[in-house]
Structures are given as C-alpha cells and as structure tokens.
Amino acid sequence: MKKHTLLLFKNRRPGETVFIEEYRKQGGYTALFKALREMTPAEIRDTVKASGLRGRGGAGFPTGTKWSFFPSDQGGQKYLVCNGDEMEPGTYKDRVLIEADPHQLVEGMIIAAYAMQIPTGYIFIRYAYKNAFDCLQRALAEASEAGFLGKNILGSGFSFELHLHGSAGRYILGEETALLNGLEGKRANPRSKPPFPAVRGLFDKPTTVNNVETLANVPHIINGGADWFASLAYTEGGAGTKLFGLSGHLESTECHELPIGITLGDVVREYGKGVWQGRRFKACLPGGASTPYLTAEHMTVPLDFAPLEQVGSRLGTGGVTVFDDHTCMVEATLNLNRFFARESCGWCTPCRDGLPYVSWLLEKIEKGQGTMEDIDNLRHQVHNINGRSFCALAMGAMGPVESLLRLFEEEIVDHIRKGRCPLKS
C-alpha cells in the first residue's frame, strides 16, 4: 500500500470524535488566523480557485469558480449553506468526516464566509444523522466560546453566525434548491435555475451551497497552498484527496481518504481487501447510486472526474458499491430505481411518472415476463427522461439504467429468453 497524505482524516481515530482542544493541538484553526489576519477575501477565493478543488457533493463543479460568481462585494444579507443531507444510497463519507473531526467543517465555513463576505450560515444535515448532529452542535458551541463565531471574529471586523438545521428526511432535500425551500419551511421541490442561488437563494438572497467535504478541504488549502493541494492527486489535472466510502460485496467496507486519481483496481484490492467470499468482481457504482456502472474492464481507470466521464460514468460522491458475480444486475438496478421512484418529489412528469414506469419494466424483465420490446422501451425511457426532468434526480436515476442497457444487455436478453432470472434456480 503506497503511503499518501491525509488531510481530512489525519486526526481520525475509529469510534472517537476530535473536539476543539485536540483539533487546535493538531494545528486546527491556524488557517482561520492566517485567512483573517494575512489574506483578503479575494486572495482566498483565488487560492481556492487555483487549488483545483471541485465540489464533493456529486456534480463536481469547481468550487473557486462558484465562489467567483458570488456577489461578494455586495452588502446586505447573504447566506452560506452547507449541504450535509447525504441520502444517496452507498454514500456515507460526510457522516464519517463529521463524526471524526467536525471542526474542519466549522473552520472551512468561517473561512468560506469571510471569502464571500457572508454574515450567516446554515449546516443542513440528514435527519438520521443524530450523532453527527450532536458532534456539530458541540463543535459550534466550542467555536463560539473560543471567539471563532459571532461578532468581530479575532478582531478582524468580520462577523459570522452559523446555525445547525436537521433535514426533514427526503432524498430530494439534497438537491440544492429543494434544500433552500426546505430551509425556508416550504415544500421541498426544486426551483428553476436561473436564477441560480448565487443571485437568488435562501430567502431570495445571494447564497452559496457547498458540500461538507468540499468545505472541510478549505482550511487545508489555506494552510498548504493551492499548488500543494493540487499535487496530492495522482492524475494530471486532478487535485486533492477524496473520501471513498466502500460498500457492497467487498471483504472490507470502510471509508478511506485517498488521492484523487487512485485506480478502481487499487481501491478494490488494497482498501476493499478484494471481493468477498473469493468471488469475482462483476460491477460497481463508482460514486453513489446515481452513477453509471463500471465493470472489471475498468480496473485501471483513475477515480477522477475526467477519466470517469471518458468511460461513461462519474466520480459523484465517491461512494463505491461493488457487486459480485452472483448478482443479477437487472435486480440490482430495479432495487436502485425503486429508491429513486419512491424519493421523487413529484414536481415534474418525467420523474413522477417515468421512474415508476421504469421500475415496472425492470420488474417485469426480472420476473421473466419481459419481451424484446421492453428493452427498446427501457432505452426510450432513458432517452426521454434524461435532460427533461426539472432537477437532476431523474437523470441520476437513469445512470444505472443506461449503463445496464449498455454493459449488461446480454443479461437482460437472457432473462427474456429463459423466461426467468438466470441467476435464480
């Protein structure tokens, strides 16, 4: 196992949480002092842009670019929102990060708020994350007590209030504009974009939404510098590390911080300790339930944004779910699609009606009652839903279905020819 630098998990000890005393002993909050005392807001925005940090919430949007669109110089109310909803199946890295070392997120948010001159922030956290909620509540109290939150932080003249908000508990609340509606106490449907949140966000004010892991990287970038952060990746053009949450049919299913660009094969063999029970690798979702499958042919693909897009998938959230060769891929896809259909907020027709119909088709095939026309029909649904739904939930749902058709068509046909699931006796 090659040695690599840890940032987000450098203080992590299984089963324990690092609070302020130890965080500060390990260099915590030095980035905040540096940012507030030695850097202008524009210098921080430029450093984050130069670091190459891309959003860790799924879409991979360049963080510095997002911050550069923000009306930082405009006075008045503006908001910073941290997205900790994390309800995508197979994704649990934000929870692990918060439970291990919550002050990184708090420090990252204060620096981000200073960089965009934002006076108020919210951390929006998944309903089921009770322990992570408690860890953050304590971290916020400690940061306030130390004078890192509130008025005139470290005598800089900059003030920032940070609040914690528990989600009502639906997957759609992770979509940033639905999240803003949820925070306002409204029905959590997505909003149309434009206007983007940077222009009209929470309570109609300019708002930046970033993921937990994205914001937790900020203190490390300020301390180490943009070039150092970029150099941590194994890929040319990649930057930083990534939290990979392993799950599924592996011998070891834990969350690891690894350099961006590590290959899928290294993750499976070295960190997942191989496919369980001596079985063979059949497929994986490389970045959560909404990313297209990879197969054994993709073992040498670097887990980075561009290389994964080149092979038809996405880095997404970095939740790597592995399926062994005893898995029926039709059944696995049906299971995923049922989740997305259930979680549709019902706002737009392709998602509300399209996803249950896709589940119906997959179930029919899985039961051995499908026809060859059903395959064409599935393809048509993927084509029809992609790009036509109001937000990316339905498009994400089509990731596994599209790749099932592309990579496992023979297995679908086998169900139809045999009139049963070939993997069931």
Q: Which of 83, 241, 263, 313 binds ligand FMN (CB under 6 A)?
A: 83
Element (H, E) at 295: strand 294-295
Q: What is the DSSP letter of 86?
A: -
Q: Is 311 in the site for ligand FMN (CB under 6 A)?
A: no
Nearer residue to ligand FMN within complex by CB, 177 or 263: 177
Chain positions 158 to 177 lying near ligand FMN, rule: CB under 6 A, are 171-172, 174-176
Q: Is 211 in the site for ligand FMN (CB under 6 A)?
A: yes
Which distant-in-sequence residues (6+ apart) come within 8 Å of 424 by Cβ?
A: 328
**38 CB burial (10 A radius; 0-12, 13-18, 19+):** exposed
Q: Which of 28, 41, 52, 55 binds ligand FMN (CB under 6 A)?
A: 55
Nearer residue to ligand FMN within complex by CB, 170 or 298: 170
CA-closest candidate to residue 176, choices 107, 84, 109: 84
Q: Is 85 in the site for ligand FMN (CB under 6 A)?
A: yes
Q: Where are the beta strands (DSSP E) in 87-217?
A: 120-125, 161-166, 207-211
Q: Identify the bridge partners of residue 283 per DSSP, sorted by sequence position.
A: 295, 323
d(CA 327, CA 33): 52
Q: Which of 72, 120, 207, 214 binds ligand FMN (CB under 6 A)?
A: 214
Nearer residue to ligand FMN within complex by CB, 58 or 287: 58
Ramachandran category for residue 15: left, alpha or beta (phi over 0 → left; psi -120 to 50 → alpha) = left
Counting every residue written for the chain, the total comes to: 425
Shortest CB 152 distance to ligand FMN, Å: 28
Q: Identify the bridge partners of residue 247 per DSSP, sorted by sequence position.
A: 321
Q: Is 399 in the site for ligand FMN (CB under 6 A)?
A: no
Q: Is 291 in the site for ligand FMN (CB under 6 A)?
A: no
Q: Is 99 in the site for ligand FMN (CB under 6 A)?
A: no
Q: Is 59 in the site for ligand FMN (CB under 6 A)?
A: yes
Q: Is 391 in the site for ligand FMN (CB under 6 A)?
A: yes
Q: Is 58 in the site for ligand FMN (CB under 6 A)?
A: yes
Chain residues in the site for ligand FMN (CB under 6 A): 55-59, 61, 83, 85-88, 171-172, 174-176, 209-211, 214, 391-393
